Every structure is written in C-alpha cells, then in structure tokens.
Amino acid sequence: MNIIVIVFISFGLLFFLGGAIGIIRMPDFYSRLHPAGKLDTLATLSMVIGLALFNLHHFSLGTLLVSIKLFLIVFFVSLASPTATHTIVDAGMRAGLRHWTKKKQRG
C-alpha cells in the first residue's frame, strides 16, 4: 500500500518539476501555457489521489470524510484549471500578442 502511495506522489513531483522547467524554457507566452495548464493539473490529481489513499489506512468516519473532501479538491481542480488557462489565453489573444513560430526564428 505504501509503495502505491509513494509511486503516485513521485509521479506528481516529477510532473510538477516538468511543469516548472517548461514554464522557464518555452519560447513564448502561448506555449508556456501548455506545461502550466496540463502538467500541473495531472500532478495535482496524482498527488492528491496518493494522499487520499494514504489517509484511508486507518478506516473510520473521520478519515472517510477527509478523503471525500480530497476527491472534491480533485474534481474542482480538474474543472477549474482548464477554465483558468482558457481565460489567460483569451486575455493574451485580445491584447494582440502574436505567437512564436519557426519561420520567425529562422528569419
């Protein structure tokens, strides 16, 4: 059981690290949103699922309620993160930022 929890949390940490590196390395604003929006969502999901499994070790009503709340966080994050990403993209689009392409880099 502990091994499953450790695997989930390590995957979450790996995805968080990838997201942070992606935010630093990507060339422009739009492509920075790809690691920020996707990797962070999946990292949060996997870490919270791991923590919920660890929490269910000692089964009682209190830990069950805490686990339900953790899954509520999972549900909310998976709903809110695409919406926040979409809002930021929309703001950038209306401000008229152009996106980075390969041609521009060569020329």
**Is 53 among the residues that bind other proteins (CB under 8 A)?**
no
Nearer to other proteins, 59 or 84 (CB): 84
**Is 56 among the residues that bind other proteins (CB under 8 A)?**
no
**Is 98 among the residues that bind other proteins (CB under 8 A)?**
yes
Contacts of 46 (CB under 8 A, 6+ apart): 8, 9, 11, 12, 15
Q: How far is the CB of 41 from other proteins (least distance, A)?
A: 7
Q: How far is the CB of 8 from other proteins (least distance, A)?
A: 11
**Is 4 among the residues that bind other proteins (CB under 8 A)?**
no
Q: Which of 94, 104, 89 is nearest to 29 (CA)?
A: 89
CA 103 – CA 48 distance, rounded (Å): 41
Cβ proximity of 101 and 27 under 8 Å: no
Tokens of 48: 């919270």
Q: How far is the CB of 106 from other proteins (least distance, A)?
A: 11
Q: How far is the CB of 85 from other proteins (least distance, A)?
A: 6
